[in-house]
Amino acid sequence: LDARNLKPLGRVCLGPTTGPDNPDPGIHPTALVALPDSSRVVFTASNLDEAVEVDARTRKVVRTFDDEPWTGAPPGGYPDALAVHAGRLYVANAGNDDIAVFDLHSGRQLGLIPTAWYPTSLAAGPGALYVTAAKGLGSGPNLRHQWVGDMMHGVLQRLSYARIDRDLPPPRPRGLGR
């Protein structure tokens, strides 16, 4: 968009064309982050389990970060939040309750960080990555009401970069199958 008048400057066409004649779900972009000192942005394609890097100046796809838990896995990880810090891309996967960590230089997945139930936002702070998880840590019996929303309190997690570097679990093997 043009900041002066909010008129579109162009489009970036991604994924299959959707509509009544196509059963594909579309890419469902849910998060966006700008890469520092660059004209590039990364957004989540939640229905495809991908993060997509686009050059905002040329409106061309630069690369795709494969966020599948294993090669050929059906969609379901549902990446829905992004953060960038010190050459790393962090991708929250709400459906898998984890954060995938990618090296921005190589595009390689470095590992997965377990989170609380259904991570929904990330923020890169000085010294730590902050995570919100909408459904929290789970619950016990629902004795007061018959509404599940009463049982999900959500959480805020603080993950120090030093600890991530020290304890990052390796990525899942890509050929595991189901």
Give me 131's structure tokens. 């995570």
What is the three-state SS of the chain? CCCCCCCCCCCCCCCCCCECCECCCCCCEEEEEECCCCCEEEEEEHHHCEEEEEECCCCEEEEEEECCCCCCCCCCCCEEEEEEECCEEEEEECCCCEEEEEECCCCCEEEEEECCEEEEEEEEECCEEEEEEEEECCCCCCCCCCCHHHHCCCEEEEEEHHHHHHHCCCCCCCCCCC
Q: How far apart are CA 173 and CA 11, in angstroms?
A: 36
Q: At the top level of CATH, which class does the domain 29-167 belong to?
A: mainly beta
Of residues 114, 112, 76, 70, the one with CA closest to residue 95:
76
Residue 151: the pLDDT is 63
Chain segment 96-134, per-residue pLDDT in tens: 999 999 999 999 999 999 999 999 999 999 999 999 999
| Better pLDDT: 154 or 167 | 167
**CA of 156: how far to CAs of 5, 47, 84, 126, 166, in Å?**
37, 25, 18, 16, 21
* 120 burial via Cβ count (<10 Å: 0-12, 13-18, 19+): middle
Chain segment 6-42, per-residue pLDDT in tens: 888 777 766 666 666 665 656 888 999 999 999 999 9
pTM of the entire structure? 0.85
